[in-house]
Amino acid sequence: MRVVPWVLATSLLAAGTLQAAPRATAIPDKAVAAATQLREHALASNLGYEITASLTTEVGPRLAGSEADARAVKWAEAKFKALGYDKVWLEEVRFPKWERRSEHASVVGTNAQPLALIALGGSPAGTVEAEVVRFADLAALEAAPAGSLVGKIAFIDHRMERARDGAGYGMGSKVRSRGPSAAIRAGAAAYLMRSAGTDSHRNPHTGITRFDAGLTPVPSAALATPDADQLTRLLALGPVRVRMALDCGWNGEAVSHNVVGEIRGKSKPQEVVLIGGHLDSWDPGTGAIDDGAGVGLTMAAGALIGQMRQRPARTIRVVAFANEEQGLYGGKAYAATHVNDIRKHQLAAESDFGAGRIYAFRSGAPEYAQGAVKQIAEVLAPLGIAHTPGEGGPGPDISPFAERGMAWASLRQDGTDYFDYHHTPDDTLDKIDPRALAQNVAAYAVFAYLAASADGDFGSDLKAVKPPQE
C-alpha cells in the first residue's frame, strides 16, 4: 500500500515539473556564489550605520512637510550620489501639513500635578479642563452611549503587549486611530490614551490619528505609560479633573518627495528590484529606528551591490519614501506614478520595523517562483534567518503597490524592544546596535542581488490582491 501513493506522487510530480519547467524561476549558481561573498562583505561593513548616523545627526527629526523634511530630501539625494548610485531623482508627493507647537497637561484640584503627554498627529489645538472618564479598552469606549461623555475627557487605559513580531501594536494603533472618533460619538470634549508603547519611561508615544467624516475633531493626546498609571491610581481615589492644552493642527498643503536611487543592472536594466524605507519621522526623537535605520540599511545594501565586480542582471532601486507616518503618502504616490510599470518591478521589500536582527524571510510570490525564493532563503540562513512561508507581509510603503499586484518579500526584524522607543524622544541613534544593523544590510543585499539575478520573474502583474498586513 505504501508503494502506490509513492508511485502516484512521483508521476504527478514529474508531470507537474514538466508543465511548470518553462516558467519556474531559478537563480544561477554563479549568482548564489557571488551573493554568499556579498553577505560576508556586508556583515563586516559599517556602511548602514554610518548612513543612519549621518541622517539622524545632520537632519535630526523630520516631521513630514517641515523644513527638516525638505532638508532630509536634499540629504538623501546627495547621499545616493555620494554612494555612487548611477541615477538619482525625486518624485513629488503632496499632503496636508500638520504642525506641533506645544502641549501641556496637569491634574487640577486637590492632587494637582503635571502629566507627561503628547498630541496625536492630526489632533486639533484646544484647551480643555474636564473630569476624566476611564475605559479599560477601545471596545468599552465604543460601547459608551451617545451623549454620555458630554463635557468629559475620555481616557482609554489599554496596555500594549510586548511581542517579537509587534503583534500588540495592532490593538495599540487602533486605540490611537479609532479612540478619538469613539470619544466624540459619546460626546467627549477631549481624548486621552495610554501610549501605544511597551516602555516604563515618562516618554509619551505620538502617532497619527484620524477622525471619522462628519465628526468635529477634539484635542487628542497620549499619556506616557507611568502617567497613565498615575491617572488610574488617582481615579481610584475619586473624580479627577485634568486640564490639557494642545497647540497643534493642520496648516495648508505640503510638498515633499520620494527620493529614488538606482544601481543599474547589467543585462535587464529596465527591470527593477525595489528596496527602501521611509525618510520622514515623528518629531520627538531623531527618527533613528523609525525609520532612519530602514533608509540607511537599504541605501547601504544597494551601494554594496554597486561596488561589486559582477553586477546583477536587473537594476536595484532604493526608495526613501515621503511621509509614511501620516498615511503612506509616499507609498501611495509611488504606486500611482508607476502602476503602468508594475511588471517591471520584479520583487520589493521595505524595512520599517526598527533596527533589530532579521529572523524570518518569506515572499508572497507565486508557486512557480518559490524555488528561487528558497534559494534566497538558503543564502540568508547563515545570518540566522528562517524561511517562514505564510508569515509576514509587505512593509507599509510598498503595500499600496502590492495591493495592485506587485510581488513582495518580507524580511522580519526582531521588534521585541521596538515599542519601547517608537515615536518617542527615545528614538535616537544609541538604540541601534551596529552589528544588528550590519546583519540587516547583509540580508537586504543578498535578497536584492539574488532577486535581481533570477532567471524568470516573481509574478508582478496588475491584479487586485489583498496582501497580509505586516
Q: Site residues (CB under 5 A) for Zn ion?
A: 290-291, 352
Q: How far is the CB of 165 from Zn ion (least distance, A)?
A: 15
Based on CB atoms, which residue is closest to Zn ion, 61 or 459? Answer: 61
3-state secondary structure of 170: helix
| SS3 per-residue string spanning 385-445 | CEECCCCCCCCHHHHHHHHHCCCEEEEEECCCCHHHHCCCCCCCHHHCCHHHHHHHHHHHH
Based on CB atoms, which residue is closest to Zn ion, 188 or 355? Answer: 355
Half-sphere exposure of 102 (CA within 13 A, CB side): 5
Q: How far is the CB of 156 from Zn ion (least distance, A)?
A: 20
Q: How far is the CB of 290 from Zn ion (least distance, A)?
A: 4
Q: How far is the CB of 260 from Zn ion (least distance, A)?
A: 18
Based on CB atoms, which residue is closest to Zn ion, 271 or 291? Answer: 291
* Residue 64: all three cell numbers together: 513630514
Q: How far is the CB of 356 from Zn ion (least distance, A)?
A: 14
Based on CB atoms, which residue is closest to Zn ion, 271 or 290? Answer: 290
- Closest Cα partner for 281 from 121, 423, 95? 423
Q: Please tell me the distance from the alpha carbon of residue 210 to that of residue 27, in angstroms, as a whole number.
A: 45
Under DSSP, the state recorded for 283 is S
Conformation bin of residue 123: beta by default, left when phi > 0, alpha when psi is -120 to 50: beta
Based on CB atoms, which residue is closest to Zn ion, 262 or 291? Answer: 291
Q: How far is the CB of 353 from Zn ion (least distance, A)?
A: 8
- Report whether 222 contacts 118 (CB < 8 A): yes
Q: How far is the CB of 351 from Zn ion (least distance, A)?
A: 9
Based on CB atoms, which residue is closest to Zn ion, 227 or 291? Answer: 291
Q: How far is the CB of 397 from Zn ion (least distance, A)?
A: 9
Which stretch of DSSP H or E encloses residue 305?
helix 293-306
- Report whether 316 contacts 61 (CB < 8 A): no
Based on CB atoms, which residue is closest to Zn ion, 290 or 414? Answer: 290
Based on CB atoms, which residue is closest to Zn ion, 352 or 420? Answer: 352
- Going along 264-335, which residue ranges are E strands? 268-278, 314-321
- Closest Cα partner for 93 from 385, 422, 319, 375? 319
Under DSSP, the state recorded for 311 is -
